[in-house]
Structures are given as structure tokens and as C-alpha cells.
Amino acid sequence: MSEPSRFMLVVSPLMHKSPAFERAAALAKAADAALHIVAFDYLEGLATAGLVNGQALEQMRLGYVERHRQWLEEQAHPLRKIGVTVTTEVVWVHNPLQEILIHLQEQPMAALIKALDHESPLSRLMFTPLDIHLLRECPVPLHFVSHVQHAMPRRIVAAVDPFHRDGRYRGLNDRILREAAKLASTCNALLDVIYAHDLSSISAAEFGFHNASAFFSSSAAKAFFEAQGEAFRELAERNGIPAENQHMIMGDPAKVLASYADAYDIDVIVMGRVIRKGMGRLIGSTVEHLLYRMPCSVWVVAPENLID
């Protein structure tokens, strides 16, 4: 895995052991990496308890943090027995996002691992969950663990878009494939790469047509499809992906990727994220749309040199 050889596992403040523990331990062991387990505690009921005695309230808070620290140490013990270097930390903080970002600045990590919190669509509409904030702002590879069949991933798929028309993301596809290849090598897993392309999203005006039907009834559509295929093959071959592991499928990317992951028992899908502003930020990106719909875990890669 990428340097430095250390992972951060962010866990729930409720002392709940999720499959993310097993995934983080398996990856750390395979990569010969250290693992830092951290809980960012803040319990609204405890924080706002109507106690007159402020000192008693502070003692309750300190007591909970200490119990959580002891609980994390109990979870870390079996990991240390299998040779993983584990450190634990509990922080009482109201805004975990900023604290996580500060931690990543002060203690560089190879990746941040976290169980996906399955928020309801209504909740996501009214309040932006921590997972979405991390998806948009986390500077290191971000692994959301969900629907785990195997602690150690056996099948990994990298999702690319070689025809991304925003020049700010030049090189992101290569970064996705490098990250996916390193993950697959660490896990001794099978790696496939998929390009889900949707011609209906292409603006006909870009190709000199006044309406979409004229575009799709012409040879331009065929030429564009062939150009996509050539770009995809060149990208995959440049990154050492064999032809039998390259898959170009027509259809809505979100539906294609979810269906593919379900049909082939994919453990992890590696995707890139893009920065959206204004209305685009409200609409979200493909990875945001997929996050709660994928039948597997998601590994998210950020662009390296994003132009403002």
C-alpha cells in the first residue's frame, strides 16, 4: 500500500464492533502496516444532560470516554496477537469531520477506513451525513466498509471514465488503477477494470448536431463509441490490466456498476471522486449516488493535483 504504512480506522462512538474492524485488521496485516483506531465521541443526551452540577456532568463524560478507551483496547488485543501494531484513541468532540481532517494532517495515513453509516434518504436530504462530508473532503484514500463477505477482499473492480471532459481531473483514471492494483496485490485479489459509458449523457451539440436523434442515427455515434473503446483499452494497457480483465459496458454508470458488483460477488469497488460546486454539489457525483446502493464496499480515490 502507499506510504506511510499506516491506516486509520474511525469507529462508532457507541462501542459497536462493525465489519470494518475485520477489514482494517486484514488489510493492515497483509500490508505490514500499523493501525490507528480512533473514536470521536459525542453523545447528545450526555452532552446536554440537564444536570445542575457541572462537575458531575464532566465526570460522566470522562467516565464514558475512559470506558470507550478500555473497550477499544479490548478490541485491539487480538489484533496485536496476530502481529498488527495497533494504537487506540478516544476524542470527545462535537464536530468529528474537522477533527478527522486535523488528524490526517498531523498523522499522514495510507487510507482512512470506516463502516458506512446507512442513513435514510430523508435524513440525507435534510442533513449531510459525515460519510458524504468525508467523501468530498478526505485527502487520502477512503474505504467505506459495507456488505462484507470476506475480511480480506477476493475480487476488486476499478471503475474508470477515460472520457471525463473536465481537464482538472487529468490523470485521475491512472491514479484509480494504480491504487486498485496496489490494493489487489496486497490482498492477492482478482482485479477487473470497468468503464460504464452512457451515450445518452452526451450533448449532441458538442458534435455539431441540433438534436440527439440526428447524432445517434449518424456514423458519429459509432465513431465516438470506437474512440471511447480505444481510450479505455489504452488506459488499461498502460496500467498493466490484461484484456480479459477489461470490461466496457453501455448503460447508466450507477446501475451498471451496482449490477456488475452484485453479479460477480465483488468485494470492493475502487472509484475516483470529483469536486463539485454550486448546484453540482447538491446533485452529487456518481460515487455519492452509489455509496448507499452498492452491494459491496467502496474505496474512493481523490485527484492528486486538483486545479481550483
User: Could you report the per-residue pLDDT of 281-307, keeping only the tens digit for each?
Assistant: 433 456 877 888 899 999 999 887 543
Cell numbers 460504464 correspond to what residue? Answer: 196
Q: How far apart, in whole angstroms, are the C-alpha atoms of residue 30 and residue 100?
A: 25
User: Could you report the per-residue pLDDT of 179-222, keeping only the tens digit for each?
Assistant: 999 999 999 999 999 999 876 555 444 444 445 555 555 676 67
Query: 3-state SS of the chain: helix, strand, coil percent to 5?
Result: 45, 20, 35
Q: How far apart, in whole angstroms, are the C-alpha atoms of residue 246 and residue 216?
A: 25
pLDDT band at 48 (very low <50, low <70, confident <90, very high): low
Q: How far apart, in whole angstroms, are the C-alpha atoms of residue 188 and residue 181?
A: 10
User: pLDDT at position 162, please?
Assistant: 87
Strands 297-301 and 142-145: antiparallel
User: Could you report the per-residue pLDDT of 235-255, keeping only the tens digit for each?
Assistant: 999 999 999 999 999 888 889
User: pLDDT at position 202, please?
Assistant: 54
Task: Quickly count: other Cβ atoms within 10 Å of residue 160's Cβ.
Answer: 26
Q: How far apart, in whole angstroms, are the C-alpha atoms of residue 42 and residue 236?
A: 45
User: Could you report the per-residue pLDDT of 62-82, keeping only the tens digit for each?
Assistant: 888 899 999 999 999 999 999
pTM for the model stands at 0.85
Cα angle for residues 263, 268, 274 (degrees, 5° grid): 110
Amino acid identity at 201: S
All cell numbers assigned to 256:
451498471
Out of 114-123, 131-140, 156-165, which region has the weakest mean confidence (pLDDT)? 114-123
Chain length of the chain: 308
